[in-house]
Amino acid sequence: MALGVVVVIAVLCAIWVLRGGADAEPLPGQPLRTLAKAKGLEIGTAVRGDHAKRNRAYRQTIAAQFSTVTPENEMKWEQIEPERGEFEFGPADDIVDRAREAKQKIRGHTLVWHFQLPGWVRELGPRELEAAMRTHIAEVVGHFKGDVGVWDVVNEPVSDRGGLRPSVFARRLGEDFIALAFRLAHRADPDAKLYLNEIGAEGINAKSDRLYEIVSRLKRDGVPIDGVGFQFHANLDGLPDDHVANLQRFAALGLDIAITEADVGVPLPPDGQKLDHQAQIYEQIVRGCLTVTCRSLTFWGFTDSRSWISETQPGMGAATLLTDKLAPKPAFGAVQRALGG
């Protein structure tokens, strides 16, 4: 092959990569965002900004299928304020800009969490930690005011046994750090909806009982909390039988309910039987959400090529609605059917 032809092919390949590769193949049936809108539900996904930049098909699928997006990592404290007082908004701004173009809402995730914290936060004493919280929340919520309409203000504050998780915030400031975070977020953006987000509290258990006590107290004390997010990281064991009753008791407090991080992990390798079972669980999640009139339902990723399950849980994976090639799995059709498609 002539050198000139090789150079031309290399240039064309480079352009193709820079533009994000191939277009997404259209998915069958009506888009999830269209079906969900007819039910009065926002349907969303967690997104990874670096992959959205590089992969056009990934971007197109997000825009076509979902009405809300949640930055998976780009708004977490470790990413956005790695050094004290030095804020890096660029990656999160990119996600916000793309969402605006696609007429999508943004869920901010998350302001105060014990994990993915920069080391400097863990070293602070009580007075300095409170000062850092005040600055961080004011700067981050203020920066995205008008763009981010919903915030997961505090993430996972309850331990599995029903106590307060022994985070740096709980150890230094006690349970009052939760109310303080909500008041600071409300001060920074009075129009944003503010949620407490929790994992492992889908059913009625020690954790959800303590969560119920916490949010009841926040409501009673006039703390500006609007809703509770339930994560629904499930596997083929299925959902707790009482998950709908659990969500309903929180709704009865006058709080909005959201499912914020849904996925269903499968033992590898997946086969037809496992994927059909997974689809049934996804359908349960959607139907339960509709039963309690959730405000929103967010999947924690939508393609098996980008899922925290396969990246952090050895032997598990295939947890999302689409294959790593963005082809529909049985779960995708099940979600469509549950939404009335």
Q: Which burial class, exposed, middle or buried, applies to 9 when counting CB atoms under 10 A from its CB (0-12, 13-18, 19+)?
A: exposed
The DSSP bridge pattern shows strands 68-71 and 42-47 to be: parallel
SS3 265: strand
The DSSP bridge partners found for residue 278 are none
Report the alpha-carbon distance of residue 153 to residue 107 in Å, rounded.
11
Token pair of 32 as six digits: 């999830």
Report the alpha-carbon distance of residue 67 to residue 104 in Å, rounded.
5
Report the alpha-carbon distance of residue 145 to residue 185 in Å, rounded.
10
Identity of the residue numbered 149: G
Token pair of 46 as six digits: 């967690």
- Residue 261 known to be catalytic: yes
Catalytic residue among 74, 130, 198, 261: 261
Identity of the residue numbered 93: D
Report the alpha-carbon distance of residue 296 to residue 134 in Å, rounded.
28
Catalytic residue among 42, 130, 156, 202: 156
What amino acid positions are annotated as catalytic residues? 156, 261
